[in-house]
Chains A and B, each alone.
Chain A
C-alpha cells in the first residue's frame, strides 16, 4: 500500500466516523484546531485506525508528534511498513 492509498483510506474513515466533509481533509489540516477533534475523538481514531490497518498503535514520540492529517498519514504509513507493526523487536516476554 502506498502513501496515497493510506491517505485515501484515512480520509474515508474521517468522513464516516467523524462526519468531516472531504474538502476539509487536507494534509495540513490540524486535527484539533481545523478538524475539531477532541481527546475522546482521538481515542476513537486510534481504535478505528488499528482496526482498518491491522496495526497496533502505542504511545511513542512519533505518535505524540502528530498534529496534522499529513503527520497522521506519515505515521500510519510507517507503521504499516514495519515488519511486525507495533510489536516490540525484543523477543523477551
Chain B
C-alpha cells in the first residue's frame, strides 16, 4: 500500500513538475526580463516557487494532510526572520502554505541542482556556506529592507533522529543586528512520513505552526547565544506538544 501511495505521489509530482517548470521558465522569464526592476524579477520568481510548493503539498492529499497554524502576527510584507526545525526534504515545500514572500538561507547544495538551483539564484536565496559573515549580513539587511520574510533552518541540516538538534548561531546574530521580529517555526510529523534516507511515503498528518513572533524589544537585551536558546526552547516545547516526543539536545 505504501509503495502504491508513493508511486502515485511521485508520478503526479513528476508530471506536475514536467509541466510546471517549463511553464514557469517560458512564462516567468519574459515577464521577469520585461519587468522594470531586479526587485520585480525576484518577486515573480519567488511567486512561482511559492505556487510550486503550494501545489506540490496538495498532490500528497489524502494520504498526507497538513494542519497549518499561523500565530505569528506577521502581516505579508513585514520583514522578519522565520527560524525553523528541519525534519525532511519536503520542508521547503510547506512554505507554500503561508502567505509570505520568502527568501531562504540555504546550504550550497540546492544551488547546484539543475533548474532548481537557477530558480534559487534568481529568487535571491542566500548561500550561508559560501557567503562570508559580512556579505551575509549586507544581503540579508537589503532583503529585509525590501519587506521580505527570510527563512532558515537553524539546525543547518535535517534531523538524523527525528528530535530537535543543536541550533547554529548565525541566524540569531543576523536577527539581533537587523532588529527584525523572529518567528519560531515548528514542523512536526514529516520526519515519520519521509524519514531521512528514505523516499517511501507513509500516511500521516503534518503540523506546521508559526509561533507568536518575538519582537526586537523581546530579545534586544539578549546575546545571540541566549536568543538561540530561547527560540530552541520554544520550538522544542511545541514539537514535544505535537509529537509527544522529547528533544534530542
Contacts and interface: CB of A to CB of B under 8 A. Distances in A.
Interface of A: 17-20, 24, 32-41
Given A19-B223, A24-B249, A41-B169, A36 B133 contact: no
A36 B166 contact: yes
A33 B166 contact: yes
Given A19-B223, A36-B228, A39-B133, 10 more contacts: A17-B225, A18-B225, A19-B225, A33-B157, A35-B166, A36-B165, A37-B168, A38-B168, A38-B169, A40-B173
Contacts of A36: 155, 165-169, 228
Nearest to A39: B133
13 contacts: A18-B225, A19-B223, A19-B228, A19-B229, A34-B166, A34-B249, A36-B168, A36-B169, A36-B228, A37-B168, A37-B169, A38-B170, A40-B169
A38 B133 CA distance: 10
Interface in B205-220: none
A87 to B, nearest CB: 30
Question: What's the interface size class on B, roughly?
Answer: 10 to 19
Contacts of B170: 38, 40
Nearest to B230: A19
B31 to A, nearest CB: 38
B128 to A, nearest CB: 9
A33 B166 CA distance: 7
A67 to B, nearest CB: 14
Interface in B68-116: none
B166 A19 contact: no
A33 B165 contact: yes
A37 B249 CA distance: 14
B168 A19 contact: no
A39 to B, nearest CB: 7
A43 to B, nearest CB: 10
A78 B228 CA distance: 32
A48 B73 CA distance: 40
Contacts of B229: 19
B134 to A, nearest CB: 11
B226 interface: yes
Contacts of A41: 169
Contacts of A35: 166
A34 B225 CA distance: 14
A39 B103 CA distance: 22
A41 B229 CA distance: 15
Interface string B215-248: 0000000010110110000000000000000000
